Structure 1
Amino acid sequence: SSQKLRNLAQALSPADVRIGGTYADFLNFDPTSNDTNCVDVTSPGSQDDKLESFTTGGFEFTLSGQRWDNMTRFCDQVGWDILWDFNLLDRPDGKWDPTQAQKFLDYSSSRGVKIPMFELGNEPNLYIRKFELDIGADQLAQDYSTLRDVLSQMPQYAASGLYAPGVNNLDTFSSSRKYLAEFLQSGCDLVSEIALHHYYFKASEASEEDFVDVSVMDSLKTQLEFAYNISSSSCRLRKPIRFTETSTASGGGVPKVSNAFVAGFLWLDKLGLSATYGITRVFRQTFLKSSYALVTQTLRPNPDYYLSVLFKRLVEGPVFRVNTQDLTPSVRIYAQCVGKSHYNYPDGAIVVYYLNVGSDAGVLSLEQFSDPAVHLFILSPGDEEGMLSRKVKLNDQVLEMNGSDLPNLDPQPHSGDVELAPGTFGFIVIPGANVELCKQYHRHDDGKDVSC
């Protein structure tokens, strides 16, 4: 891999990467194969054409040991932990056959490959529609029990977590809610966390205006409330929740929109709401390929890439409520403890992050803090394309790669109240906030001993 690709990936670390999705259900592993070609998952053709190929086995492909070695070496180099998605369609007698998985695990274990997370298949609640195959929730729980039995016999992976069932859009489909409830009634104790997928809309039905619609943003709350209610009623103890696949629009994203500046409003709001609801992980679809990718196939960062890097560097830990009574609903604000590792902020510092999809500026008052000094990381469109710009400015400076190196993402010092300009989003660090809960959090190596 190129140094530029490694630098782009490493800037997001520590991170988890999901190697899976629809194509996981057509993957065969052969450690001795000489095939080092990648399957082209973005070839032209309609989704219906692709699904027809799926049902006839036209998309089956082989992962060789050599290619797997290259993939895991790359993940080690850039600091990514792997969530591996096994082929759930490998079921000759109606239940999952772990033979292929065992071969993959034996090979990976012999290479010392770390795989802390596993799942089976991709959105199994949709198999009946996509593949004319009905894998009921009870059967899926039995399949996960089989996978747990396999992993328990392998010291390298016995402690790895299982994440399921990977159902999509609870807010839209009652069948998804039913599937999740039935799975948890049978398999709640088998999984480490509940896995969900979420998209706001279909790419074919979306417009630019949907990306700045607060009612669209609020639809995510409905999904999360469904998930927590189902977990509470179906499990002895409510399980944590993660998004193992999520982006703006399903079907690869909206061309020229999901990869533009405007996509950042939904992305940042999703991160803020996920933190507010205690979501443990958010797996962004995708790092490379398709319109919703963070990075283009020519390794040019899209605006969401820089937003993601800043979020990773600046935001972590306990979540705080922000008084927004003086702001319009088009201004959305979140606050958490600040990350310390990159910018070396003091214990007790917090970060406020916002998005303004309205036409008027808002003002964030910081009068409650004795120290008025703040650091601004304000993102705005990078050129005359405006909301559809493929470039982004940080504090009015266009962000550009310098060869294989990322630009410096430096803050702008400021004092006092902060204007939240329309059509922007960003982060406001308050180094001298001296928030006690953040001081406690920062003094622990991982923050796990502090609840909020």
Structure 2
Amino acid sequence: MAHTDPNYICATIDWWPSNKCDYRQCPWGSSSALNLDLSHPFLVKAVQAFNRMRIRVGGSLQDQVLYNVGRYTGPCHPFVKIKGGLFGFSKGCLPMNRWDKLNQFFNKTRSLVTFGLNALHGRHQIKRGVWGGDWDSSNAHDFIKYTISKGYQIDSWEFGNELSGNGIGAMVYAEQYGSDVIELRGIIDNLYRQFRPKPLLVAPGGFFDKQWFAKLLQISGSEIVDVMTHHMYNLGPGVDRNLVKKILDPHFLSRASVTFTGLQQTINTDGPWASAWIGESGGAYNSGGLHVSDTFVDSFWYLDQLGMAAKYHTKVYCRQTLIGGNYGLLNKTTFMPNPDYYSALLWHRLMGTGVLAVGRINIAPHLRTYAHCSKGKPGITLLLINLSNQTHFELGVHSILNMNLHTTQHKTLKKNTSFVHGLKTAVSWVGSKSTDEDLSREEYHLTPRHGYIQSKTMLLNGVPLELTEDGDIPSFRPTMVKVNSPISIAPLSIKFVQFPNFDAPGCK
């Protein structure tokens, strides 16, 4: 039903300095593109484990970043807090020796890089929150030229951050934005004229506004913008005391589909040459939720949205953040992985690019189900998410021509109900029926330590996921189960199930 990019999993490196604070918390530390310890072995190994992770450099302050290169001769200082500044900060500067170090890190970790450019340079505020005037492209031009001269590989250049619609902090009208992306396209095409393929042009990196996004595509025209990026923080503010309740509410989680549907319709109508990415998503905005975004429970939201986004033709999903804030995949101080890091890595290793449709006939809303072609080998992989705190699901697997999941819910010994749902795409066994009983599937069952869903330790098949003594990412060892035996998923747990012996036409 859809396909993702091979490097679907993406994470961001932001610009926030250590004195960025929300709700009397200052959770950023030294995690900025300007001061992150790029040589820390835990950081390097965590990114290398993905074998080509996409990293997006960007965030709220990117439209105040100047690049200390070429015609720019001003001072090169980091961001400082100032009254009346955009987001409460001054303009900041990226020295080229720091850009060199960032690219050494990207090369060492084999990262794919999306870099967010300053889209406010040269503009002025024409009224409260609204910026007008032409974009001054000279600094971006010189920066891109320097990047090429050093041989740095940039997969995509993104234009601006959260300037679409009503904007966050600042907004630019879509007509002006459309004119400016045409100019950026000219710069990319000219400076990369001897390169094939050229980097993608990605925009606008903001919250979806149907009218604004449609106007951008109409004004810029055919094949100017390669990717339409949008941001999602559907859980609300990080200080919300109901974050856990929202995460475990299937009806609340499903509301995100409205945004995915709206963007896909807009692209189909006004820009069929473009694809859709989530350029930034951290669940809860304003740095995430303390003791929520960095714990096991967040993976219910994160994995569910990864599955949902893929189903709605999202090619890339960038998690806010790789490190920094409460929602970092890595702890900002220790660089140790948080539970969502392991969820992301499991997805990356198990879920292929082909998205399969899962039928939902009388299916309990608390059992979230997603299916993909397996990554790197034949078969299919199911992702099962049990949001219920009391219902234990057992799924019986049958193969004739289709795969049906016969499910029994157990709330009490007295109350049992059953229903059937199946993959809409025909899925058949590889091999003869006589050998079915000898075939096995792989199961990766994720639970929190001691059953506490706000634990910072995730268990894989009962074993804590922790770095080795050398700081290496632990091995993911599945449980091998006879392929025809029931699939069991406990309350408040997550399971990846890989069937190596299924053949789906969509996975050929």
TM range (shorter): 0.7 to 0.9
Q: Give the Cα–Cα distance (whole angstroms) in 1 for the partners of residues 447 and 134 of structure 2.
A: 51
Deviation at 1:108, TM superposition (A): 0.8
Deviation at 1:411, TM superposition (A): 0.6
**More deviation in 108-117 or 370-379?**
370-379
- In our comparison, the structure showing a higher alpha carbon Rg is 2
Select which of 138, 141, 162 maps to 2:178. Answer: 141
Select which of 431, 455, 466 maps to 1:400. Answer: 466
Deviation at 1:39, TM superposition (A): 5.4
Per the alignment, residue 85 of structure 1 pairs with 116
Per the alignment, residue 376 of structure 1 pairs with 443
Q: Alignment partner of 1:270: what SS?
A: helix
1:19-51 per-residue CA deviation (whole Å, 9 max, x = no partner) reads 1111111111114999999759xxxxxxxx888
Per the alignment, residue 316 of structure 2 pairs with 281
Alignment of 1:286-435 (within 5 A): 286-297=321-332, 298-325=334-361, 327-340=363-376, 345=377, 347=378, 349-358=379-388, 359-368=390-399, 369=429, 370=433, 371=436, 372-383=439-450, 386-403=452-469, 404-415=471-482, 416-435=485-504
**Structure 1: any 5+ residue segments left out of the alignment?**
41-48, 171-175, 441-452
Q: Give the Cα–Cα distance (whole angstroms) in 2 for the partners of residues 276 and 338 of structure 1.
A: 15
Per the alignment, residue 62 of structure 1 pairs with 93
**More deviation in 153-162 or 397-406?**
153-162
**Contact 2:42–2:336 (Cα < 8 Å) also in 1:** no
Q: Give the Cα–Cα distance (whole angstroms) in 2 for the partners of residues 28 and 396 of structure 1.
A: 49
**What letter matches 1:267 in structure 2?**
Y
Per the alignment, residue 225 of structure 1 pairs with 261
Per the alignment, residue 16 of structure 1 pairs with 54
Per the alignment, residue 103 of structure 1 pairs with 142
Q: Give the Cα–Cα distance (whole angstroms) in 2 for the partners of residues 199 and 432 of structure 1.
A: 38
**Contact 2:54–2:114 (Cα < 8 Å) also in 1:** yes
Per the alignment, residue 181 of structure 1 pairs with 214
1:117-165 per-residue CA deviation (whole Å, 9 max, x = no partner) reads 011110112676624xx52101001111111111121136682111112
TM-score under structure 2 normalisation?
Answer: 0.77
The alignment status of 1:152 with 2:221, answered yes or no, reads: no
The alignment status of 1:130 with 2:162, answered yes or no, reads: no
**Contact 1:167–1:180 (Cα < 8 Å) also in 2:** no
Q: Alignment partner of 1:130: what SS?
A: coil
Q: Give the Cα–Cα distance (whole angstroms) in 1 for the partners of residues 213 and 280 of structure 2.
A: 16
Alignment of 1:112-131 (within 5 A): 112-125=151-164, 130-131=169-170
**Contact 1:36–1:66 (Cα < 8 Å) also in 2:** no
Q: Give the Cα–Cα distance (whole angstroms) in 2 for the partners of residues 39 and 263 of structure 1.
A: 31
Q: Give the Cα–Cα distance (whole angstroms) in 2 for the partners of residues 61 and 126 of structure 1.
A: 25
Per the alignment, residue 173 of structure 1 pairs with none
Q: Give the Cα–Cα distance (whole angstroms) in 2 for the partners of residues 35 and 50 of structure 1.
A: 17
The 3 A distance-change label for structure 1 pair 5 and 39 is farther
Deviation at 1:234, TM superposition (A): 2.4
Q: Alignment partner of 2:398: what SS?
A: coil
Alignment of 1:231-250 (within 5 A): 231-235=267-271, 237=272, 239-250=274-285
**Contact 2:77–2:92 (Cα < 8 Å) also in 1:** no
1:341-384 per-residue CA deviation (whole Å, 9 max, x = no partner) reads xxxx4x3x111111000120112222115535211101000235
Deviation at 1:434, TM superposition (A): 3.1
**What letter matches 2:302 in structure 1?**
W
Deviation at 1:413, TM superposition (A): 0.6
The 3 A distance-change label for structure 1 pair 36 and 182 is closer
Which has a greater percent of helix?
1
**Amino-acid identity (%):** 24
Deviation at 1:53, TM superposition (A): 3.0
The 3 A distance-change label for structure 1 pair 89 and 35 is closer
Q: Give the Cα–Cα distance (whole angstroms) in 1 for the partners of residues 168 and 52 of structure 2.
A: 37
The 3 A distance-change label for structure 1 pair 85 and 366 is same
Per the alignment, residue 12 of structure 2 pairs with none
1:255-310 per-residue CA deviation (whole Å, 9 max, x = no partner) reads 11011101001111111111211111001110000111100111111000000000
Q: Give the Cα–Cα distance (whole angstroms) in 2 for the partners of residues 388 and 339 of structure 1.
A: 30
**More deviation in 178-187 or 27-36?**
27-36
Q: Alignment partner of 2:278: what SS?
A: strand
Deviation at 1:208, TM superposition (A): 1.3
**Structure 2: any 5+ residue segments left out of the alignment?**
1-38, 125-132, 400-428
1:66-111 per-residue CA deviation (whole Å, 9 max, x = no partner) reads 1101101111111111111111110247111111112211211110
Per the alignment, residue 46 of structure 1 pairs with none
TM-score under structure 1 normalisation?
Answer: 0.86
Q: Alignment partner of 2:372: what SS?
A: strand
Q: Give the Cα–Cα distance (whole angstroms) in 2 for the partners of residues 36 and 408 of structure 1.
A: 43
Pairwise CA RMSD = 2.4
Deviation at 1:432, TM superposition (A): 1.3
Q: Give the Cα–Cα distance (whole angstroms) in 1 for the partners of residues 167 and 380 of structure 2.
A: 47
**What letter matches 1:183 in structure 2?**
L
Per the alignment, residue 227 of structure 2 pairs with 193
**What letter matches 2:106 in structure 1?**
C
Alignment of 1:3-42 (within 5 A): 3-31=41-69
**Contact 1:241–1:279 (Cα < 8 Å) also in 2:** yes
Q: Alignment partner of 2:279: what SS?
A: strand
Q: Give the Cα–Cα distance (whole angstroms) in 2 for the partners of residues 431 and 35 of structure 1.
A: 58
Which has a greater percent of strand?
2
Deviation at 1:184, TM superposition (A): 1.7
